[in-house]
Amino acid sequence: MQRLRRMRANGMLRALAAETRADVSKLIYPVFVRCGENVKEEVPSMPGVYRYSADRLGEVADAVAEAGVAGVMLFGIPEQKDESGSGAYDENGVVPRAIRFFKDHFRKTGKSFLVAADICLCEYTSHGHCGMLVGGEVDNDGSLPLHAKAALAAAEAGADMVAPSSMMDGVVGAVRRALDGAGFSSLPIMAYSAKFASAFYGPFRDAADSAPKSGDRKSYQMDVRNAREAVREIEADEREGADIVMVKPALAFLDVVKTARERTLLPLAVYNVSGEYSMVKAAAKEGWLDEKRTVTEIMAAFFRAGADIVITYHALDFARWQKEAEVKG
């Protein structure tokens, strides 16, 4: 008889035989930045997640540095929106200001971490779509220069990485050419390569006020029924110059994550999205789930499926739990 239980007999043996490690240094914490001063407001549908004005980001910087996670991904909420999403590429817009704040804070404190900027138009357009509208339809090619300008604004502010997320065909190539032409050839691109038109984005759209005013995003985000198409998207982004590829959402698409891991040699990121986060928070509040155990299991699942990087709102909590476990150990 094979006695597979031998290596499960106690915590020391289980740790020794563990095939997967959820590494805190591979986590990225999403941060919502809005206009104004002295603002820290909780997102109603995302307990524990806040919108900050730039002058309040010092507490975020200190918490992220203390946690030891890799860095932050910035999402902007402008004071005003317009048809072309001009706030996305305003050099004095909310995200460039936040980037400069972090960099200045690093100089003052001697602490640092990765500062990445999400590149999209949806938070900045009055209609809520990820590109310009022409005749009620998203103009793919006409939107590419605007994404390139947004990436340049982030790069010039000091971003360590840009992450085009609109799912416009050719957006990675457009951003890469713009960066290279402006002297930012060393700035990496994390591509939202396989981003599905998912129901799990609801709380994010609440946080960023980015829901489409009409229609939906199914004409540019991927059909949730398709896995092979995800491979085509990833391969296209590789050819266009992506340095990291991503699957989003993560939890309901672990089959896609596993396939992506088998098909690409690039670092693979997953986004543990707002709906996935809020479901756990809601169930934990009611006592239906143990939050710590559930999140720990979810993190293990992402890395076990093949992710190298996890973008998650759980990052700071998970890092704290890991430190507590080390102290007890």
Active site residues: 195, 248
Helix (H) or strand (E) holding 42: strand 40-42
Beta bridge partners of 195: 248
The rounded distance, in Å, linking the Cα atoms of 281 and 275 is: 10
**H/E segment holding residue 17:** helix 11-17
Identify whether the C-beta of residue 317 lies closer than 8 Å to the C-beta of residue 272: no
> If you write DSSP's letter for every residue of 131-184 in order, what string do you get?
S-EETTEE-HHHHHHHHHHHHHHHHHHT-SEEEE-S--TTHHHHHHHHHHHTT-
Contact 94, 55 (CB under 8 A): no
Contact status, residue 190 vs residue 248, Cβ threshold 8 Å: no
Structure tokens at 71: 């860095």
- How far apart CA 251 and CA 115 sit, in angstroms, is 24
Give 71's contacts (C-beta < 8 A, 6+ positions apart).
28, 29, 64, 113, 114, 115, 116, 160
Structure tokens at 140: 């793919």
